[in-house]
Amino acid sequence: MEDASFVLKIFQPQGRLSAYVQAVWSASVAADALTDTTQWLHGDAGSGILFNLKGPIYLGDTAFASGVVFLPVKKESQSITLPPGSQLVGFRFHPAIGFGVLGTLYDQPTAMKVDDKTPFALHALCTQLMQTKGHYRRMVALYRWLNIAIDFSDVAPASLLQALSAVQSSKRPGQLSEGIPLSQRQLERQFKRWMGMTAKHYQRILRVKKTLNTLKCKPDIDLVNLALQQGFTDQAHMTRECKQIAKITPGQYSKRVRQGKAI
């Protein structure tokens, strides 16, 4: 997405990485922009890492200086505010993958401390990205690092990944244990441990995400029909869910799409 001052580039991995990483992205705000830029990061049940190359930036009301920021599992949308001259790059894991890689389930954006040590040399990577110019080159550098630095084998239990796939296929949470060698209660414990939410809440997030994706492609779609297509009881139910999870109503989002302001 581009406008007069804000630029966002997104690359969706192919091949091996596509099963673990949703996207690699790079964003910036022109140094001569007259005001801060505020965008909304949609809740998608995923997590990720943000490299702030030229701070400060704000996630919600919290300021973050230059450096590495661990992004929590997104249960609902959150604002990000970027002052003129901001430069940042990052990536998002698919649901449950972040906990498997990092071993920590963050409940809020968390700056990596200078003396923190991880097996991935994230401080050194951040320095490399600061010295790399241009959106494309930064995304390529990050993509190569993901391929080399992280071993994604056995990063999450197969039973949980099967359950996630089942929910994505619109299977009801109460049916998740069918065909999986775990009880419903055991699967629910896995959801809480690896994602910090219930299977039912994950289903709600997916439904809202699919609703917004449909509106992004068809901003003029009839909202009553959209609600029924996405499995809501009615338009009011869809509006409440979108407002709670995405912090925006379907009508407001379709208007932003028509104005070219939706991400």
- Dump pLDDT digits (tens) for 201-256: 999 999 999 999 999 999 999 999 999 999 999 999 999 999 999 999 999 999 98
**Residue 136 forms part of a structural domain:** yes
246 lies in the same domain as 119? no
pLDDT over 50 (residue 2): no
User: 37: which strand partners?
Assistant: 82
Q: Which of 37-46, 75-84, 109-118 is the least confident region? A: 109-118
Burial of 179 (0-12, 13-18, 19+ CB in 10 A): exposed
E-assigned strands of 94-138? Answer: 110-111
Q: What is the arithmetic mean of pLDDT over 22-42?
A: 93
**Residue 205 forms part of a structural domain:** yes
Burial of 169 (0-12, 13-18, 19+ CB in 10 A): exposed
Segment holding 217, helix H or strand E: helix 199-217
Q: Supply the range of the domain harboring residue 163.
A: 158-193
27 lies in the same domain as 129? yes
What is the pLDDT, as a whole number, of residue 21? 96
The domain boundary, picked from 85, 117, 149, lies at: 149
- Higher pLDDT, residue 144 or 55: 144
**Residue 263 forms part of a structural domain:** no
83 lies in the same domain as 165? no
**Residue 101 forms part of a structural domain:** yes
Residue count (the chain): 263
Exposure class string for 47-65: b at 16+ Cβ within 10 A, else e = bbbbbbbbbebbbeeeebe
Residue 7 region by backbone torsions, left for phi larger than 0, else alpha for psi between -120 and 50, else beta: beta
User: What CATH number is associated with residue 221?
Assistant: 1.10.10.60
**Residue 11 forms part of a structural domain:** yes
113 lies in the same domain as 88? yes
Exposure class string for 111-131: b at 16+ Cβ within 10 A, else e = bbeeeeeeebebbebbeebbe
What is the pLDDT, as a whole number, of residue 1? 43
**Residue 41 forms part of a structural domain:** yes
Span 161-213, pLDDT tens digits = 888 888 887 656 666 666 677 788 888 898 999 999 998 999 999 999 999 99
140 lies in the same domain as 100? yes
**Residue 179 forms part of a structural domain:** yes
E-assigned strands of the chain? Answer: 6-11, 21-29, 37-41, 47-52, 57-59, 62-64, 67-71, 78-82, 87-93, 110-111
User: What CATH number is associated with residue 42?
Assistant: 2.60.120.10
pLDDT band at 81 (very low <50, low <70, confident <90, very high): very high
Instruction: Give CA–CA dist 109/126, Å, rounded.
Output: 17
What is the pLDDT, as a whole number, of residue 8? 94
What single-letter DSSP state applies at residue 156? S
Q: What is the arithmetic mean of pLDDT over 94-114?
A: 92
217 lies in the same domain as 91? no
For residue 163, the Cα-to-chain-centroid distance in whole angstroms is: 19
Instruction: Give CA–CA dist 97/194, Å, rounded.
Output: 8
What is the pLDDT, as a whole number, of residue 244? 94
Share above pLDDT 70 across residues of the chain, in percent, rounded to a whole number? 94
35 lies in the same domain as 128? yes
Report the number of distinct structural domains present in the chain.
Answer: 3
Ranges of H-type helices in 26-115 = 97-102
131 lies in the same domain as 16? yes
Backbone angles phi, psi at 53, to 5 degrees: -90, -15
142 lies in the same domain as 162? no
The encoded tokens of residue 26 equal 């790079």
183 lies in the same domain as 241? no
176 lies in the same domain as 210? no
pLDDT over 90 (residue 57): yes
187 lies in the same domain as 206? no
**Residue 1 forms part of a structural domain:** no
